[in-house]
Chains A and B, each alone.
Chain A
Amino acid sequence: DTAVSQTPKYLVTQMGNDKSIKCEQNLGHDTMYWYKQDSKKFLKIMFSYNNKELIINETVPNRFSPKSPDKAHLNLHINSLELGDSAVYFCASSQRTGPRYGYTFGSGTRLTVV
Chain B
Amino acid sequence: TQLLEQSPQFLSIQEGENLTVYCNSSSVFSSLQWYRQEPGEGPVLLVTVVTGGEVKKLKRLTFQFGDARKDSSLHITAAQPGDTGLYLCAGYSGSARQLTFGSGTQLTVLP
Query: Chain B 75-111 against A: per-residue CB contact (8 Å), 1 yes, 0 no?
Result: 0000000000010100010101111110110100000
How far, in angstroms, from A90 to B37 measured CA to CA in the complex?
12
Q: Could you tell me if B97 and A55 are in contact, using CB atoms closer than 8 angstroms?
A: yes
A40-95 interface (Cβ within 8 A of B)? 40-45, 48, 55-56, 90, 92
How far, in angstroms, from A4 to B43 measured CA to CA in the complex?
12
With A43-B101, A48-B98 given, is the CB distance from A99 to B42 under 8 Å? Answer: no
- A108's partner among B40, B92, B101 (CB-CB below 8 A) is B40
Q: Could you tell me if A42 and B101 are in contact, using CB atoms closer than 8 angstroms?
A: yes
> Which residues of B are found within 8 Å of A7, using beta-carbon distances?
none
> Which residues of A are found within 8 Å of B94, using beta-carbon distances?
99
Max chain B C-beta neighbours (<10 A), residue from A35, A43, A101: A43
With A100-B48, A102-B48 given, is the CB distance from A45 to B98 under 8 Å? Answer: yes
With A99-B50, A100-B48, A100-B50 given, is the CB distance from A90 to B42 under 8 Å? Answer: yes
A-B pairs with lowest CB-CB distance, top 4 = A105-B42, A99-B31, A99-B30, A102-B45
29 examples of A-B residue contacts, CB within 8 angstroms: A40-B103, A41-B106, A42-B103, A42-B104, A44-B101, A45-B98, A45-B99, A45-B100, A48-B98, A56-B96, A56-B97, A90-B42, A90-B43, A98-B92, A99-B30, A99-B48, A99-B50, A100-B31, A100-B48, A100-B50, A101-B48, A102-B33, A103-B33, A103-B35, A103-B45, A103-B99, A106-B42, A107-B41, A108-B41
In addition to A43-B88, A56-B98, A103-B99, 16 A-B residue pairs with Cβ atoms within 8 Å of each other are: A41-B104, A41-B106, A42-B101, A45-B98, A45-B100, A48-B97, A48-B98, A55-B97, A56-B96, A90-B43, A92-B42, A99-B92, A105-B44, A107-B41, A107-B42, A108-B40
